[in-house]
Chain A
């Protein structure tokens, strides 16, 4: 069974630009979450989608947005990029909602560098 796939693996963008990251969950998983990882702030939750609906949102500005498609694939968009957006963006999928033992399965991440 294929794992969580994130594309692209690396991105270099300029301040002010926008970027779209893609995530394909494990087959059958309907929950997709996004996390930002930086050396200073660690791992921070961005948002979660379940069945095309945003179910939970972290404390990030509105420049960060996402969506989920009917096939559970998800995209994350960051507009008006700032230097501080440079980070590893991790996507995770999960099989069941409401099951506390259901782990998140993460992809390899997209490393975004903003210059």
Chain B
């Protein structure tokens, strides 16, 4: 079964600096998708970035980039130029076997709380 591990329960970063949130995964599938979500205190899960297992380049979305190392089974999120509004819980997630019949189930890691200091 797929598993996501986020080893950093909490992180602090100074405003305007970059921060890396770690994510490792375990799967026997060759085809899979990796996602990062942000959850502010309001509770809503906000989609940040996606990386496919066959994507040759690391995904980027604005200040977010994904450091994808397939051989090491890691998909770390890098947030550049941190802002106070980045303070939230961050979840790494994997889509289990993205074939039609398996639907859209995501397996989530435990999350990392990020606090941005001014």
A108: contacting residue among B35, B44, B106, CB under 8 A? B44
Number of interface residues of B (CB under 8 A): 29
* Docked pose: A102 CA to B44 CA in angstroms: 18
Complex Cα–Cα for A50 and B105 (A): 12
- B102 and A103 within 8 A (CB): no
* Chain B residues numbered 36-71 whose CB sits less than 8 Å from any CB in chain A: 37, 42-47, 50, 52
Chain A residues whose CB sits within 8 angstroms of the CB of B31 once the complex forms: 100
Q: Is A14 an interface residue when CB atoms closer than 8 A count as contact?
A: no
Q: Which residue on A lies nearest to B110, using beta carbons?
A: A42
Whether B85 is near chain A, meaning CB under 8 Å from some CB there, is: no
Among A15-23, A60-68, A77-85, A91-99, the one that faces the other chain is: A91-99
Are the C-beta atoms of B50 and A31 separated by less than 8 Å?
Answer: no
Decide if A43 is an interface residue (CB 8 Å cutoff).
Answer: yes
Contact residues, B60-117 vs A (CB, 8 A): 91, 95, 98-111
Q: List chain B residues, Cβ under 8 A from A27.
A: none
- Contact yes or no, A100 B103, CB < 8 A: no
Known interface pairs A56-B103, A101-B33. Does A108 touch B108 (Cβ–Cβ under 8 Å)?
Answer: no
B72 shortest CB reach to chain A, Å: 20
A92 and B32 CA atoms in complex are apart in Å by: 19
Cβ-defined partner of A43 (8 Å) among B91, B98, B104: B91
Do B105 and A111 have beta carbons less than 8 Å apart? no
Per the bound structure, the CA–CA distance linking A110 and B5 in Å amounts to 26
A88 to chain B, nearest CB (A): 6
Nearest Cβ in chain A — how far from B21, in angstroms? 16
Given contacts A101-B33, A101-B50, contact A106 B104 (CB under 8 A): no
Q: Do A48 and B104 touch (CB < 8 A)?
A: yes
Q: Is B110 touching A102 in the complex (CB atoms < 8 A)?
A: no
CB-CB nearest in chain A for B99: A98
Closest to A101 in B: B50
Q: Which of B46, B99, B104, B111 contacts A31 (CB 8 A)?
A: B104
Identify 6 residue pairs between A and B in the complex whose beta-carbon atoms are under 8 Å apart, listed by A's number. A31-B104, A33-B105, A56-B102, A58-B105, A100-B98, A101-B33
With A45-B105, A100-B31, A101-B52 already in contact, 7 other A-B pairs whose C-beta atoms are closer than 8 Å: A45-B106, A48-B103, A94-B104, A103-B50, A104-B47, A106-B44, A111-B43
